């Protein structure tokens, strides 16, 4: 359990640094971190970098149909996960 928290903490720290380097606003950073935190909770015990396209798709569908989130909100979640810095962070 502690290891999972450490991994998630490190992930969020790295992503925060990357977003700051790209001059993202504090509000955007807070929103994207929240989105990634929710996804990490959904997919645990897996690490978010180990998620495949199908798992991400299922998560987005869960938000739309299960949680009944607005499409614009789900789009924001998608953008938080698939911006170029997110992909580059894990390569």
Residue range 74-88, pLDDT digits in tens? 988 787 766 655 555
**pLDDT higher for 69 or 35?**
69
Domain that holds residue 80: 2-89
> Is 1's pLDDT higher than 50?
no
Question: Coil, strand or helix: which one is 23?
Answer: coil
> What radius of gyration, in Å, describes the C-alpha atoms of the chain?
13
11-58 pLDDT tens trace: 889 888 988 998 999 998 898 888 888 888 998 898 887 888 888 889
Q: What are the tokens at 54?
A: 């199908």
pLDDT of residue 5: 53
d(CA 36, CA 86): 10
Q: Which residue has the tokens 């569908």?
A: 61
Domain count, the chain: 1
CATH number at residue 55: 1.10.150.130
Distance of CA 69 to the CA centre of its chain: 16
Distance of CA 32 to the CA centre of its chain: 7
């Amino acid at each position: 359990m502690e290891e999972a928290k450490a991994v998630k903490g490190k992930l969020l720290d790295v992503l925060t640094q990357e977003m700051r380097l790209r001059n993202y606003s504090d509000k955007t950073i807070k929103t994207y971190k929240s989105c990634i935190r929710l996804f990490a909770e959904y997919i645990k015990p897996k690490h978010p970098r180990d998620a495949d396209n199908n798992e991400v798709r299922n998560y987005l569908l869960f938000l739309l149909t299960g949680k009944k989130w607005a499409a614009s909100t789900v789009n924001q979640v998608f953008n938080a996960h698939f911006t170029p810095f997110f992909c580059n962070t894990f390569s």
